[in-house]
Every structure is written in C-alpha cells, then in structure tokens.
C-alpha cells in the first residue's frame, strides 16, 4: 500500500516550507561525497553516530539536526520526500510556516533520540534520513486530519489498483508495521531501517497534535 495523494480540502495556499524542505533535502543528497573514504568522513561529521554523541557536550549534538537532511540512496530519498509531499502541506497550513519548520526539526531530534535509546552507545553505524521527522508529520496528521482520505496504490492478487482509504486506517497500518519491526529488531546489531526513529517521531507528532486538539483547535478535514 503506497499513498498517492490525500483528499484534504483545508489547504490554503502554497506550502512553501514543505517544498523548501524537499528541495533542500534533495540538494543535500546530491552534494554528498561519492567516494567511499570521503563519504565515511562526511557521515562521521554530520550523521548521528552513537559512539560520538556526548550529552554533556553540545558540539556533538548538531548531527541530531543535520542527519535529517542526509540519505543513503535514491530510494531512501524518494520515499521520504514523497511522504512529506503527501502529508506536509496540511500540517504546515495548520501550524503556520515557522512553527511547522521548528516542529519538523524537533520531530527529527525526537526520532533520533528514540533510536539512540535502543542502540548501543558504542555503535559506529550512522543514523541518517528524514523519515523520523516525516513520521512526526504523519503523527500530527492523524490527530488533526483523521477524516481525510488517502488515495493509495494497492497490489492485490497480482493486480495493481488504486483505492481511497481513511487516513486513520492508512497511518495506523503504517505505525503498526513500524512497531512490529521495532520489537523484532531488538537485540540485533547492524545497519538497516531505524524503526525506533519512526516510532519516536510518530509519537512526538501525535502528542503535539493531541495537545493542539486539547487546547481549542478543532480537528480538520
């Protein structure tokens, strides 16, 4: 199940910061070094490497932000910016541009912290990618736009079709898969998908969305 678009009618104008984030993320990807030696040094400096994080030294914490703009390959990049394209504009219009940008970066930090909590402090495997920040956007979306519908691409019995599904169903299915894989990854070492970053980002965004609902903002569609 792959989302193609949402049915929101609440958009008001162009989502400038969403597409600025997309353009910046794509630009940074193509600026990353291509040689193995240079890329290793680059990631050691700008990605989150658990062994290099020292919570008593603020200068080692900058990668909690910069890692959000780094990606391992084109598929990693495309899947992340596509999900941001689907869900980000609604959230930007709801929060306002500046608050949205701060929320996005805070979501990325929360996601990295969640992943670090389930990773050995001596690990040298870099954590990078926007998926944690985008998971925060998705968590906020489900709290604020539960009645939206998502047109999704579905493969069934060898046939590809599109179907409109409630946003709540699509996003709960997504986070359910992350939780299953997160618990399945416990005790495993090595690279791969940062499931706990996805979970941490989603919970952060969901919490902000619930707080916004609680303090007088009506849920939207």
Return all residues near 173 (Cβ < 8 A) that are at least 6 apart.
1
- pLDDT interval class at 157 (50, 70, 90): confident
CA atoms of 198 and 89, how far apart (whole Å): 20
Structure tokens at 19: 């597409």
Task: Name the residue with higher pLDDT: 113 or 190.
Answer: 113
Mean pLDDT, to the nearest integer, of 174-194? 86
CA atoms of 170 and 167, how far apart (whole Å): 5
SS3 sequence of 110-152: HHHHHHHHCCCCCCCCCECCCHHHHHHHHHHHHHHCCCCEEEE
pLDDT at residue 176 tops 60:
yes
Mean pLDDT, to the nearest integer, of 121-146? 96
Mean pLDDT, to the nearest integer, of 182-187? 85
CA atoms of 44 and 186, how far apart (whole Å): 24
- pLDDT interval class at 190 (50, 70, 90): low
Mean pLDDT, to the nearest integer, of 163-191? 89
Q: Measuring CA to CA, which residue among 18, 117, 34 is closest to residue 72? A: 34
- Domain membership of residue 130 (yes or no) is yes
SS3 sequence of 49-109: CHHHCCCCCHHHCCHHHHHHHCCCCHHHHHHHHHHHHHHHHHHHHHHCHHHHHHHHHHHHH
- Domain membership of residue 18 (yes or no) is yes
For the stretch 109-133, pLDDT in tens is 999 999 999 999 999 999 999 999 9
What pLDDT was estimated at residue 154?
87
For the stretch 9-38, pLDDT in tens is 555 688 999 999 999 999 999 999 999 999
* CATH classification of the domain holding 96: 1.20.1540.10
What pLDDT was estimated at residue 158?
75
Return all residues near 11 (Cβ < 8 A) that are at least 6 apart.
89, 90, 93
- Domain membership of residue 57 (yes or no) is yes
User: Do β-strands 149-156 and 159-166 pair in parallel, antiparallel, or remain unpaired?
Assistant: antiparallel
Mean pLDDT, to the nearest integer, of 32-56? 95
What pLDDT was estimated at residue 219?
59
CA atoms of 66 and 170, how far apart (whole Å): 29
Return all residues near 10 (Cβ < 8 A) that are at least 6 apart.
90, 93, 94, 145, 220, 221
- pLDDT interval class at 186 (50, 70, 90): confident
- Domain membership of residue 74 (yes or no) is yes
Average pLDDT, the chain: 92
What pLDDT was estimated at residue 216?
65
Range of the domain at 198: 2-214
For the stretch 192-210, pLDDT in tens is 899 999 999 999 999 999 9
- Domain membership of residue 188 (yes or no) is yes
Residue 25: half-sphere exposure toward Cβ, Cα within 13 Å? 32
First to last CA, the chain: 22
pLDDT at residue 217 tops 90:
no
- pLDDT interval class at 144 (50, 70, 90): very high
Count of structural domains within the chain: 1
CA atoms of 131 and 194, how far apart (whole Å): 9
- Domain membership of residue 66 (yes or no) is yes
What pLDDT was estimated at residue 221?
54
- Domain membership of residue 221 (yes or no) is no
- Domain membership of residue 220 (yes or no) is no
Residue 115: half-sphere exposure toward Cβ, Cα within 13 Å? 33
């Amino acid at each position: 199940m792959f989302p193609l678009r949402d049915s929101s009618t609440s958009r008001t104008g162009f989502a400038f910061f969403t597409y600025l984030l997309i353009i910046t993320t794509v630009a940074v990807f193509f600026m990353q070094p291509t040689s193995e030696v240079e890329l290793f040094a680059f990631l050691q400096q700008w990605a989150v490497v658990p062994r290099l994080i020292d919570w008593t030294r603020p200068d080692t914490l900058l990668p909690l932000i910069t890692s959000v703009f780094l990606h391992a390959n084109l598929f990693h990049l495309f899947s992340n910016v596509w999900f941001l394209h689907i869900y980000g504009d609604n959230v930007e219009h709801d929060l306002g541009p500046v608050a949205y940008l701060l929320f996005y970066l805070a979501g990325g930090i929360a996601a990295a912290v969640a992943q670090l909590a389930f990773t050995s402090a001596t690990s040298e495997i870099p954590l990078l990618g926007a998926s944690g920040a985008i998971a925060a956007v998705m968590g906020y979306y489900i709290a604020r736009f539960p009645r939206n519908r998502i047109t999704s691409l579905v493969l069934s019995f060898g046939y590809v079709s599109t179907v409109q599904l409630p946003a709540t169903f699509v996003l709960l299915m997504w986070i359910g898969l992350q939780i299953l894989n997160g618990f399945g990854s416990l005790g495993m070492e090595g690279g791969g998908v940062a499931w706990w970053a996805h979970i941490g980002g989603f919970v952060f965004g969901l919490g902000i969305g619930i707080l916004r609902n609680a303090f007088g903002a009506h849920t939207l569609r």
